[in-house]
Structure 1
Amino acid sequence: MLLLGDARVKQLAGSKLHWLRAPQTIVPPYAVLQVISSRDDYHSQGPSGLTDARVQIDAYADSYLGAKKLSDAILGVLSGYRGILSGVRLQAGFVDNRRDFPASSSGDVTPLFRRSADIIIWHSSL
């Protein structure tokens, strides 16, 4: 995975980056990634061959600063990245927004902090 090869991300989260759901017994800091929407691109001649995917990244930590640092490190790798990864050509990543949330729903008590961010990644098949 591209993110696990980055020294800063690795220092902050180790290998604790998960798609869709983190294990219940995980110790922070960690991140959960998920595709929340995806669209094919078209021009006047039909499909362009490009797709954009909105990826939500939720970084969790014991402190607000820890969650923010992990989120910023992940976005730093993906923002503007161009290259080939697992048979997909990544064209560019654009940070769309960042949000701060409690780590759980209202009524739950948890000591964790969560920074959520969306990045739009344009990609195409090889």
Structure 2
Amino acid sequence: MEAALTALLLGDARVKQLADSKVHWVRAPQGIVPSYAVLQVISSRDDYHAQGASGLTDARVQIDAYSATYLGAVRLSDAILAVLSGYRGVVSGVRLQAGFVDNRRDFPSSSSGDVIPLFRRSADIIIWHSSL
């Protein structure tokens, strides 16, 4: 699923314009400059029915958009969510069934120890998916 989401996001013109190719999983590389996104799976569970596993999995993916400005972080977050929300299709051998935005939250422009103070917009999206 991670490769599928990365390919989907990097294939979107608006995300590409706002973040270039800076969409990372779990953490951003050292020395990266704004704007960029970091995604991570917060939780994931397989779906079952009376016959056993359905083959579907739902994953809660946290998306953190960083930028030097608050509006830059909001724009990048909104662009990413616009791509993933409600998306249905096959990407990189994964069938993405749907994405449901669960929540959004803002964080201050800096925390102690930050070399470059950045704004962060964080959002959670539930992604239903299955392997082909």
- TM-score tier by shorter-chain length is over 0.9
Same amino acid, percent of matched pairs: 83
The answer to whether structure 1 residue 37 and structure 2 residue 43 are counterparts is yes
Change (3 A) 1:46 1:14: same
Alignment of 1:1-126 (within 5 A): 1-102=7-108, 105=111, 107-109=112-114, 110-126=116-132
Contact 1:34 1:55 in 2 (8 A): yes
Offset of residue 111 of structure 1: 2.1
Choose 108-117 or 67-76, whichever is displaced more: 108-117
Alignment gaps of 5+ in structure 1: none
In the superposition, the TM-score normalised over structure 2's length comes to 0.89
The whole-number CA distance in structure 2 between the counterparts of 1:38 and 1:13 is: 26
CA deviation map 1:59-85 (0-9, x unaligned): 000111000000000000000111111
CA deviation map 1:77-121 (0-9, x unaligned): 00011111111110000001101113654x345521000000000
Contact 2:110 2:117 in 1 (8 A): no
Supply the AA of the counterpart residue of 2:47: D
The whole-number CA distance in structure 2 between the counterparts of 1:122 and 1:104 is: 33
Contact 1:33 1:56 in 2 (8 A): yes
The whole-number CA distance in structure 2 between the counterparts of 1:111 and 1:87 is: 38
Q: CA RMSD in A?
A: 1.3
Q: How many residues are aligned here?
A: 125
Change (3 A) 1:92 1:2: same
In the superposition, the TM-score normalised over structure 1's length comes to 0.93
The whole-number CA distance in structure 1 between the counterparts of 2:86 and 2:49 is: 23
